Amino acid sequence: MSSKTISVTDEAREHDRHFHASFALVQEARARNVKVRPHRAITPLKVTPWLLVQAIVLPLLLCGLLWWAKPMLLEAWRQIILFWSAGLNLPFSLATRLNEAGQFSLVLSNVSEEALMPGTTTLIVTTVVTLLGFVLSMRMRDAALPLKYPLRIVCVVQLITLAYFWLTPSAFPYSVARHSEELMTIGYVVMLATPVMLAVGYYILNQGLLVKLFHTALILLFLAIMVPHQVLAQAFIMQHLSVLFMPVLYICFGAVFDALVFVALYSWAVSKAPMNATL
């Protein structure tokens, strides 16, 4: 082996040694001077005994309070619906007999269920619009992509409903009043589950107890106001269009919609937590 080859190899090794030595010095300086903490979403959370007590006791107390207040809450929702239904030309009233829960449930006065069934024109127009929406969902790209799959789900549910009403419209077993009562039940269940879900991802944060209770109260208040108006909006659509849209409203804008609203409110509450909430 020539002396020239040996000298080139030694020189390369020397450069490599200097590079690793310099890189080690940079790492040491970074560790000493740069204090960057990982995002709290991926930071291990230390749950202290006090936080654990909050995560257990708060859901029990809040769920117990909601369970005790259920009759009053449902009655308040019915009164809100009755108040606004007069201006919206929705013939809601209360039944004259108690239901299984010992309450007067909503009924539609002086309206036959046959009057709310879709006509041929409604079926044809809805079929065309739904097919166009499904085709449009297949052409969505880039910024419109997040809307693609929700739109496709709505279209598929509506197409199945259309097939049902084209084939056996007289066998549809649900009424607008029953649909409205079930929406209120779903809303109440979401409210009842809210403290439990907050216990998993919010009450264990290192934050003041009063702040947690305040945000929880705001979330529950939002849901309590939203549910009766959700019932009114869906009843208004079915009253002026038909019960053809009841399944898509129930499946896509019932429990799923309530859950998405909770996720949005939970995200808002967590975003208000201080930077040291996960320390």
**36 token code pair:** 């960057």
Give me the pLDDT at residue 198, please: 94
Reported pTM: 0.79
Per-residue pLDDT, 275: 75
Distance, CA of 23 to chain centre: 48
Q: What is the pLDDT of residue 13?
A: 76
Task: Name the token pair of 192.
Answer: 């009842």
Please report, for the chain, how many H helices and E strands are present, in that order: 9, 2
Q: Which residue has the tokens 């880039």?
A: 142
Separation CA 216–CA 210 (nearest Å): 10
Q: Which parts of the chain have pLDDT scores under 50? A: 1
Element (H, E) at 152: helix 145-167
